[in-house]
Amino acid sequence: MSIWARISEFLSTVPANALSNLIEAVRTVFEGDPELRRRVAFSIAMIALSAKMAKADGVVTQAEVRAFQQIFEVPREQARNVARLFDLAKQDVAGFELYAERMARLCGSGQPNCAMLEDILDGLFHIAKADGFVHEREVAFLQRVAEIFEIDEQHFERILSRHAILGEKDPWLVLGLERGAPFEEVRARYRRMVADNHPDRLIARGVPEEFLAIANSRLAAINGAYETIERSMQRT
């Protein structure tokens, strides 16, 4: 059974007013299967938080809906329940902090800076920038989610740069390096980041295959940053 069929089956049993309790319900329903529990929890968190992210600036645009659809390739037969959750969540931003807190507790081993939480935040960035303009309320939403996920300020700034939210991407910041670091350090850091962000790593920590567009986008930013630094060093 596909992850979407599992999610659709699960959502079909959840009352319409139970959005804030979904993560606890996931913990109970899938208690005997930790891997499936992480995959379902990740997917539901991405759907609900994406809807609230889109609503953060006061209006859900068609561009944001399309961005949501780019990440979530939902089979037609499961689309109704997924749309039900998205529509319920997008009514307002209220409750997102509690939702993010429960997701943080459930994530992986539960340790600070859990890699799956960065995967979720990356998906939210994709939604935020979809309409070509990131509203200050959307940035505040992202910052607050990052705080709840225990993603520190420096780490958050690297993610901001990776998505070019505040202008052109800073390749040094994307790789988390001091400007002018030796090329050997740049290359070692790049190789480590590529290995850490390989799609297989995301799958291993519970990210469903349907969400690997997140990994591909992140790898593209990392590759671009490395190539930019490499070219600049060759010119000097």
Give the contacts of 217 (CB within 8 A, at least 6 positions apart).
122, 126
More confident residue, 206 or 125: 125
Most confident of 101-110, 164-173, 198-207: 198-207
Asked if residues 104 and 38 have their Cβ atoms less than 8 Å apart, the reply is no
Q: Is the pLDDT of residue 95 over 50?
A: yes
pLDDT value for 121: 86
Asked if residues 177 and 186 have their Cβ atoms less than 8 Å apart, the reply is yes
pLDDT value for 90: 73
How would residue 182 be classed by pLDDT, with cut points 50, 70 and 90?
very high
Total structural domains in the chain? 1
pLDDT value for 184: 93
Q: Is the pLDDT of residue 60 over 70?
A: no
**What's the pTM value of the predicted model, to 2 decimals?**
0.71
Asked if residues 3 and 44 have their Cβ atoms less than 8 Å apart, the reply is no
Asked if residues 12 and 22 have their Cβ atoms less than 8 Å apart, the reply is no
* Residue range(s) defining the domain that contains residue 128: 3-235
- Is residue 225 classed exposed, middle or buried when 0-12, 13-18 and 19+ CB atoms within 10 A define those classes? buried
Mean pLDDT of all residues belonging to the chain: 77
More confident residue, 122 or 79: 122
Neighbours of 213 (CB within 10 A): 16
Q: What is the mean pLDDT of residues 162-172?
A: 71
Q: Is the pLDDT of residue 108 over 60?
A: no
**How far apart, in whole angstroms, are the C-alpha atoms of residue 71 and residue 122?**
11
CA pseudo-torsion sign 49, 50, 54, 60: negative
pLDDT value for 109: 44
